[in-house]
A = this chain, B = another copy of it.
């Protein structure tokens, strides 16, 4: 089929338990996938491992999703909903609201890095995203921006948040060994460079481990400050 593939119908009547007794469903599979990624790291998500965890043949999953990408999108849809669940920006000051907005997305993405690495780059065009954008623009209007500037600054804000979230998520999705190797660079290769050729690195040697962790919190506060300045100016 070259046409857009029709959704696999969610309503199923016939149910056959798997060899090990588990009843499969779209929800059960997404649950298991998120659990698998959360517990065993980013590279634990493969059709084979998922099948093993569910006690079914890997190919059984294709009865529910067209591809692993399709499965990941389904999982990412749930992520957006969970990130925004219980968020009530109208109850707080705009700056606090924007901060929580950013922190919620960032936290959710970090909790599911492998899924997030794919989700961050995509426009879902679904209900949860609609609601999030509406809330975000509303917060910037309350900060004092006019309509056009609110949109422009919301765009900059959310892209910065998503960019950091994607970066941190992609990093967390790396195999542990590579992640540790990247971290060690700041106390190893970087700290041992000659101060002659790299004077700043030499002078700041003892602070370089700061480069290893996430810088999102610092960047978020900087951005909020800048928005405050821009709104009042």
Contact = CB atoms under 8 A, between A and B. Distances in A.
A203 B121 contact: no
A123 to B, nearest CB: 4
A46 interface: no
Overall SS of chain A's interface: helix
A182 B120 CA distance: 13
Interface string A134-159: 11011001000001101111111101
14 contacts: A4-B181, A120-B170, A121-B168, A123-B185, A130-B189, A130-B190, A134-B199, A137-B200, A147-B203, A156-B219, A163-B167, A166-B167, A222-B226, A225-B229
Nearest to A67: B178
Given A182-B122, A226-B223, A152 B201 contact: no
A193 interface: yes
Interface in A161-211: 162-164, 166-168, 170-171, 174, 178, 181-182, 184-186, 188-190, 193, 198-201, 203-204, 207-208, 210-211
A115 interface: no
Contact of A222 (B133, B134, B223): B223
Contacts of A223: 219, 222-223, 226
A19 interface: no
Contacts of A137: 200-201, 204
A200 B186 CA distance: 45
Contacts of A166: 121, 163, 166-167, 170
A117 B157 CA distance: 20
Nearest to A222: B226
Contact of A207 (B147, B188, B218): B147
Given A137-B201, A162-B167, A166-B167, 10 more contacts: A4-B184, A4-B188, A121-B171, A137-B204, A141-B203, A151-B208, A156-B215, A156-B218, A219-B223, A223-B226
